[in-house]
Structure 1
Amino acid sequence: MQRTSSSDLSHAGMLFDESLQRQIKARFHQVDHDYDGIPRLFFDNAGGSFRLKSAIEQHAAIDALPDCTERMHSGARYLQEIQSKGTEDFRLMLNAKGGSVFASLTASGAMFDMVRAIAENVPGKNFVTTVLEHPSAFDAVTYYADRLGKELRVAASNPFTGGVDVEEIVSKIDADTVLLSVIYASNISGAKIDLAEIVRQARLIKPDLYIIVDAVQHAPHGVIDLQETPVDALNIALYKFFGCRGSGMSWLSDRAARLPHHKLIAKPAGVWDLGSAAPAQFAVVSAVVDYVCWLGSHVSPSTDKRTLFVQGMHSIELHERALLARLLEGDGDIKGLRHIDGAKVLLDYPDLRKRDLIVAMAFERLSPADAVREYEKRGVIVYERVSSSLYSRRMLESFEIEGAIRISPLHCHSSDDIDRFLSITADIAATHNVIA
C-alpha cells in the first residue's frame, strides 16, 4: 500500500499500491466504462454500486440449479451447504453471535418487517429516530407510530458535522421509549454516527431498549462489529456491498427474532424466512466476504477469517479516506473541490475519520440537476439530491440546503480517477463562468 503525503495516516488514509489497485479494478465489472464500453467515471456508488465479477458468477451458477433445498438428495444438500455458509459468512461480516439471519428481496422491505415486530409487541409510549434516516426506516417508524398512537421523537441533524450528535439522539430517549432507529452513516454527507456511544448511553437510560440500525450505506466502507455495538436489528443491501440487486440481508438479536412476526406456524419462533430462501443470495454474501478477506491477506498473515475480513475493511477505509482527502484538497497542480473557484463543498467536516467516501457539493451558478447533466456530457455519473425528491427533502431541509451534487466513488477507484474528476469539475466551473 502507498502512503499519502500526510504523516497522519489515521486522518489522511493510505492508498493501495498500484499493482493491488489494478488487481482490485480487474475484479469488478465496468469500473472504467459503461455497458456499451464507452469510457466513464461512475461516481454514484451511494445510489448504485459496482459489482464483483465473482458475486455475479456465483449468483448465476447457484441460481441455475433446479434443486429444492428442502429435499434430501445431493443437489439439495449442496444448496443447503451454500445457504449455511452464506449465513455464517454474514454473521462473520457483522461479528454477530446468535440471533437470526434472513434474506429478503430488498433491505427496505426487511426494515419495515423488523420495525413492525418491535413496534407492535414491545410496550412503551414513544419511538425515537433521526431526521437523516433513509425513507425505508423513517417511514416505517412514522407509520407504526401513527398506527399505534405512539409519540414520534426525531433527533435533529448537525449542519456542521453533517451527522447527528450522540447527545441529540440520547436526549430523546426515556424509560418509555419502545425503539430507537438510527442510520449508520448519512447518505448525503457521508457523516458516520457514533453508534457505539449511542448504544452505550441509550442503554444506560433504558437497558432493554430495542435498537434498529440501517447499515445499508455504511457497510461497504467500514467495519461493523456487533460485539462493540450490541443492537437488536441491522440490515444491509448486497447490491451496495459489491453484490447483486434483489437481495437484502438482515440480522436480528435472539430476543428480537422471537417477537411475533409473519412466519409459517410450524417453523421455530426465531425463523424469519417465509418460503424457500434463494441460495444464490447466500452465495453472493460468501463471494463478498471472500473478496474482502483476499484484500485483508495483503496486510495480515493471519489465517483467521474474521481477522482477514476486518483487515480488508480497514484497507478499504484507509484507501477511501486517502481518495476523500485528494478529492477535497487535490494534489500538486490538481485543485481539490475546496479550492476550485465556483465549486463549494457542503457539510465539509474536516475530520475525515468521521466520514465515509461521500461528498456533497454545489456550483454557484449551476443547479444540481444541470450540473449532473454537464458531468454526464463529460463522461461522469453523479447524482443530484434535491428537495423535490422524497429521498432527499427531509435531510436537505434539516441542513437548510436546497440541493446538492452527491459524489460517491468506491475503493476500486484510483487517485488518477479522482484527478480526472477534479479536472472535469474545474472545466465545468470555468465553462459556466462561475464566480466563487
Structure 2
Amino acid sequence: MPADLTAQIRDKYYHVDVDPFTKSKRLFFDNSGGSFRLKDASEAFRNVDDLPNCGGHGGAASDYLDSLRTQACKDISTMFNAEGGCIATSMTASIIVFDVSEAIIANVPGTNVVTTELEHPSAFDGCAVPAEKYGKELRVAKTNPRTGTIDPMDVVKLVDKDTCLLSVIMTSNITGAVLDIETIAREARKIKPDLFIICDSVQHTPHGLTDMKAWGLDCVNFAPYKFGGARGLGVGWLSDRVMNLPHRKLIREKQSNWEMGGCAPGMYAMLSAIFNYVCWIGEHFTDSQDRRTLYVEGMNRIMLHERALLYRLLHGSDEVKGLLDIEGVNVAVEMPDLTQRDLIVPIVFDKLTCEQASRAYEKAGVVVHERTDASLYSARQVNSINQHGIVRISPLHCHTYEDIDEFLKITAEIAK
C-alpha cells in the first residue's frame, strides 16, 4: 500500500509500536492469537455499551439498538457475500461451529463425517464428539507435512454418498495454508450434491475474502477479536437448510434464531465498524459506492500488502537475510505459492526450543507465540507436519517492511 495510507492505517489501531504496560517499543507479531484493536471498533462498542436501554422495548434509544443489529447482520452477509439464511452470534466462534456441527450430524442422514487434521479443536471436536455420539464414522484428511496444507482431492476422496457433513478449515492458524475451499466444495458435491459443508474461517476472514454465493457453503464463522474487534463474540452465517434444522432454542422462538438471548448491542456497532474500516481502505482505490465492491477492494489491498510482507519475511532484501536464509532457523513448511498462504510463518530453531525462542523474542521486544503439542489447541496440527512445536510469526497489514526487517535482524541474533 502507499506509505501515506499505511501511516493512516497504523493510526487507526491501538498499541501498534509500544507495549501499553511496559511503555517500551515492541513488535507485536502475534496477531493470530488476537489482533491489534481498531480504535473505531473499540469506541463504537464503548459508546453503545454505556446505554441502559434494551432493544425491542420501544423508544428512540431502543430503536437505535435494534437498528445496529439490523445493520451488522447486513454487513456480515455482505462480508461473506451470502444471501438468505441467518446470522448467529455467540460468546465465541467455537461455540457456533460446535453447535452447527452437532445439529447437522444429529439430524442429517448419513454414516460418516469428513474433516481434516488441520482443524481448530472446536471444529475437529465439533465433528468427533457428535460423530461418536450418533454412531457415525469420522474420516480425517491428512496434512502434507512438507507444505503444511491439504490437497483438495485428499479431502474429496473421503466423501461418499453416505457423508452427512464435510467440515474444512479455510486457513490453518498453525501453518498459514489457505485450503482451496471452492474446489473442495465443487468436487465433493459431484459425489453428493446435497452434502452439508461448513467452514471455519476464523483465521482467514481478517486476511482474505469469503464468497458464499460462489462456494455454496452451509456455514462459515469468524471471531472479531482477530479482526480488530473485541473478545467475547463469535459470528456465523448459516444457510437456510442449516437454519431450519432442529437446534437449541426457546420453544416459541422462531426457527431462524440460533441465539440464546443476545450479545451486547455494542458488539453490533463494533462489527459494522470493522466492515466500514475495510470499505474505507477500498475507497482509496475505487469510486464505487457499492458496499460489497468496496469491501472486496479493501480486502484485496490487505491481501496484497500482507503477501508482500510474507515475501519479505521469507526472502529478506539486499540489506537483511530472510527466514529462508538465516542460519540456525528453519521455516517448518515449504511455501512455493504465496497466493495460497495467509500471513503466518511457522519456524523452528536449531539451538533453541520453541519456548526458549519465544522468551528470547520477548526479551528483544518482539511478541510471538509458540504452538506445541503440549497444548490441546495445537497438538494435532503441529504433529501433522512432523513437529513437536513451532514459533508462530503473525504480523498484520498495518506492519511495514521496516518492521519485518527489524524482526529479521532480531531473529538472526537469537539464532546464533
Contact 1:336 1:422 in 2 (8 A): yes
Distance in 2, Cα, partners of 1:268 & 1:315: 40
Q: Secondary structure at the match of 2:384?
A: helix
Q: Unpaired segments of 5 or more residues in structure 2?
A: none
Q: Does residue 27 in structure 1 map to residue 12 in structure 2?
A: yes
C-alpha separation in 2, matches of 1:412 and 1:42:
11
1:92 to 78, 84, 89: 78
1:160 corresponds, among 139, 142, 146, to 146
**What SS does the corresponding residue of 2:355 show, helix, strand or coil?**
helix
Structure 1: which 4+ aligned runs deviate by more than 6 Å?
none
Contact 1:103 1:281 in 2 (8 A): no
1:407 aligns with 2:400: no
Q: Among 361, 378, 387, which residue is 2:364 paired with?
A: 378
Letter of the 1:385 counterpart: R
Partner AA of 2:18 in structure 1: H
The more displaced of 193-202 and 384-393 is: 384-393
* Cα distance in 1 between the residues matched to 2:359 and 2:340: 30
Aligned-pair RMSD on alpha carbons?
Answer: 0.9
Superposed, 1:237-248 pairs within 5 Å as 237-248=223-234
Contact map agreement 1:170 1:198 (CA 8 A) in 2 = yes
Aligned to 1:205: 191
Pair 1:104 & 2:90 matched: yes
Tell me, in whole angstroms, the C-alpha distance in 2 between the residues paired with 1:45 and 1:275.
30
Q: Please point out which of 259, 262, 278 is paired with 2:264.
A: 278
> Are 1:172 and 2:158 an aligned pair?
yes
Partner residue in 1 for 2:321 = 335
- 2:173 aligns with one of 187, 199, 204: 187
Residue aligning to 1:7: none
- Within 5 Å, give how 1:204-353 maps onto structure 2: 204-353=190-339
Could you tell me how far 1:425 is from its partner in structure 2? 0.4
> Following TM superposition, by how much is the alpha carbon of 1:299 offset from its aligned partner in structure 2, in angstroms?
1.0
The residue matched to 1:49 in structure 2 has which SS? coil
CA distance in 2 between counterparts of 1:72 and 1:423 reads: 59
Give the aligned residue type for 1:17: P
Shift of 1:422: 0.3
Matches of 1:306 and 1:388 in 2, distance apart?
42
Indicate if the aligned counterparts of 2:89 and 2:262 stay in contact, CA closer than 8 A: no
- Residue 160 of structure 1 contacts residue 349 of structure 1 at CA under 8 Å; is this kept in 2? no
Distance 2:123 2:356 in 1: 30
Trace 1:64-79 onto structure 2 (pairs within 5 A). 64-79=50-65
CA offsets, 1:203-256, max 9 Å, x none? 111111111110000001111111111111111000001111001001100010
CA shift at 1:48, angstroms?
1.5
Contiguous gaps of at least 5 residues in structure 1 = 1-15, 431-436
Out of 379, 384, 391, the position equivalent to 1:398 is 384
Q: Secondary structure at the match of 2:214?
A: coil
Supply the distance in 2 between the matched residues of 1:190 and 1:216 (Cα, whole angstroms): 12
Task: Supply the distance in 2 between the matched residues of 1:33 and 1:355 (Cα, whole angstroms).
Answer: 28
What SS does the corresponding residue of 1:228 show, helix, strand or coil?
helix
Matched position secondary structure for 2:124: helix
Deviations 1:279-308 (A, max 9, x none): 211111100010000000111111111100
- How big is each residue's C-alpha offset from its partner over 1:131-153, in whole Å with a ceiling of 9 and x where there is no partner? 10000010111100111111000
Which residue identity is paired with 2:130? Y
1:111-130 equivalences in 2 (<5 Å): 111-130=97-116
The residue identity in structure 2 corresponding to 1:35 is: P
Determine if contact 1:320/1:357 at 8 Å carries over to the other structure.
yes
3-state DSSP of counterpart to 1:249? strand
CA drift of 1:259 comes to: 0.3
Distance (Å, rounded) in 1 between the aligned partners of 2:350 and 2:328: 6
Question: What is the DSSP-based 3-state SS (H/G/I as helix, E as strand, rest coil) of the residue aligned with 1:39?
Answer: coil
Q: Is the partner of 2:115 in helix, strand or coil?
A: strand
Contact kept, 8 Å, 2:348 with 2:390, in 1: the verdict is: yes
Amino acid at match of 1:287: A
Count of aligned pairs between the two proteins: 415
Secondary structure, in 3 states, of the residue corresponding to 1:399? Answer: coil
SS in 1 for 2:237: strand
Equivalent residues of 1:82, 1:282 under 8 A apart = yes
Q: Which moved more, 1:370-379 or 1:382-391?
A: 382-391
CA displacement, residues 166-201 of structure 1 (integer Å, 9 cap, x when unaligned): 111001100000101110011111010000000100
Q: CA deviation at 1:278?
A: 2.3
Deviations 1:32-87 (A, max 9, x none): 11122221111011111111000000001111111111212111111001110011
The alignment-based identity, stated in percent, is: 50
Stretch of structure 1 that moved more, 277-286 or 22-31 = 277-286
Q: Is the 8 A contact 1:124 1:178 kept in 2?
A: yes
**Quick check: 1:138 aligned with 2:124?**
yes
Would you say the 8 A contact 2:79–2:292 is kept in 1? Answer: yes
Tell me if structure 1 keeps the 8 A contact 2:233–2:263.
no
SS in structure 2 at match of 1:337:
coil
For 2:209 and 2:140, the matched residues in 1 are separated by 27
SS where residue 174 of structure 1 aligns?
Answer: coil
The answer to whether the Cα contact below 8 Å between 1:183 and 1:214 also exists between their aligned partners in 2 is yes
